[in-house]
Amino acid sequence: MTEQRDWNALSDQEFRLIVRKFFEDHYPEHLRYSPSRRRLAEMRGWYDTLSRHGWIAPAWPTKYGGMGLSPSKHIIFIEEQEAYGVARVPDHGLIMVGPLLIQQGTDEQRARYLPKILTGEEIWCQGYSEPNAGSDLASLRTEAVLDGDEFVVNGQKTWSTLAQDATHIFLLVRTDKNARKQEGISFLLVDMKAPGITVRPMATLSGHEEFCEIFFDNVRVPKENIVGQINKGWTVAKALLGFERLFLGSPKLAQSALARLMTLAKLTGRDRDPVFLERLAEVQLDVDDLNGIYRHFSAQAGRGEPLGQDISVLKVWGTETFARVADLIVEVADSAGMISGPALFGDAEFDVLSPFYNARPSTIYGGTNEIQRNIIASNVLKLPSA
């Protein structure tokens, strides 16, 4: 059933209508406009549908089983996803591990891992942050000691999104304790079924177990599971952080929140308030500006160019725009802005706080926005340190 087409040969309007029709025909109605991140069990059917049709990896080259979309077509794909309220599938393999292995993996690693990401047989999570090594990621202490043809891993990772559903994890580990912080780090691919791994979910303020902490106790990992060279994982990690910050800076969260804001404004009658309409225009322009800068960076990635330190601008802009829209939703809801879960507005239900809850951590994960501003100041603007 896989659709083999040259999507980029279509006009943007033709492609948009095809994507819109696909979502209308195939996406489950009960999963539209989800207020929180969906678990694998809920998204499995949709993942399988995308995989069967060859739509699971829009940005991957066709050579590796993707749709091979150009940056402009990929943005249309994302826009139509958001407009129809399509929830994210478990996508660390699709948007992080897959593109990384395509660029920096070995032929054997690509042959081993990419097909099973496409089918959803293997689901990935991220092992970067640790206690006392979140924004200062180079301070990580999880250790991997080479023992013959295997690494022995000991340590702890935290804030790993939906790790309880993952079959595999990509892991930053320290392989040389005597090297400088950014050196002596390696990048490993690890099977979550390996003996010695313990996953502990953590409930968020909204009550969802979206994040986990993961413990490694003498976990043995084959030496061939390293990506890049030993002790050179920081270079690999920076490439992956570029993909992550491109994704985190996507306008889709802000666009989705903006659509919810406009819906709520109609339910409350604020859409007839000239003061509110002025503020609405401001956030609409912010979201449009965000979309413009996102197109710039996604086009750069689509040309195969490395994403530089200036990608931090997108992460800050995207997450803070999302937060501003979420804050305005709470304000428009008035007293209902204190209600966790669906609130009644006439005969309609509306979850006011879900965008607010989702916007708070977005400025922290993927490197806090404070750290991103330091990167911009020192590495992009070349400002002197204080």
CA dihedral (28, 30, 36, 38) positive or negative: negative
Tokens matching residue 357: 């809850």
Give the domain ranges of the chain. 7-89, 124-232, 249-380
Element (H, E) at 215: strand 211-222
| 9 SS3 class | helix
The fold of 7-89 is: Butyryl-Coa Dehydrogenase, subunit A; domain 1 (1.10.540)
What separation, in Å, do the N-terminal and C-terminal C-alpha atoms of the chain show? Answer: 59
Separation of alpha carbons 191 and 181, rounded Å:
26
Check residue 333 and give its pLDDT: 93
| 258 SS3 class | helix
pLDDT truncated to tens, each residue of the chain (386 aa)? 456 689 999 999 999 999 999 999 999 999 988 877 899 999 999 999 999 999 999 989 999 999 999 877 887 888 788 788 899 899 999 988 998 999 899 999 999 999 999 999 999 999 988 988 766 777 899 999 999 999 999 999 998 999 999 999 999 999 998 888 788 999 999 999 999 999 999 987 777 788 999 999 999 999 999 999 999 998 888 777 766 777 778 888 898 899 899 999 999 999 999 999 999 999 999 999 998 898 888 777 767 677 788 888 999 999 999 999 999 999 999 998 888 888 888 888 888 988 898 888 888 877 788 888 998 998 889 888 76
Separation of alpha carbons 314 and 296, rounded Å:
10
pTM: 0.82
Which residues are catalytic, by number? 244
Give the class (CATH, top level) of 249-380. mainly alpha
Check residue 368 and give its pLDDT: 84
Element (H, E) at 145: strand 143-147
Of residues 139, 55, 62, the one with CA closest to residue 91: 55
In contact, 328 and 283? CB cutoff 8 Å: yes
In contact, 363 and 321? CB cutoff 8 Å: no
Amino acid 114 reads L
| Intrachain domains 7-89 and 124-232 with the same fold | no
Check residue 135 and give its pLDDT: 67
Torsion-angle region of residue 35: left (phi > 0), alpha (psi -120 to 50) or beta? alpha
Separation of alpha carbons 281 and 272, rounded Å:
13
Separation of alpha carbons 234 and 239, rounded Å:
9
Please state which CATH number belongs to domain 124-232.
2.40.110.10
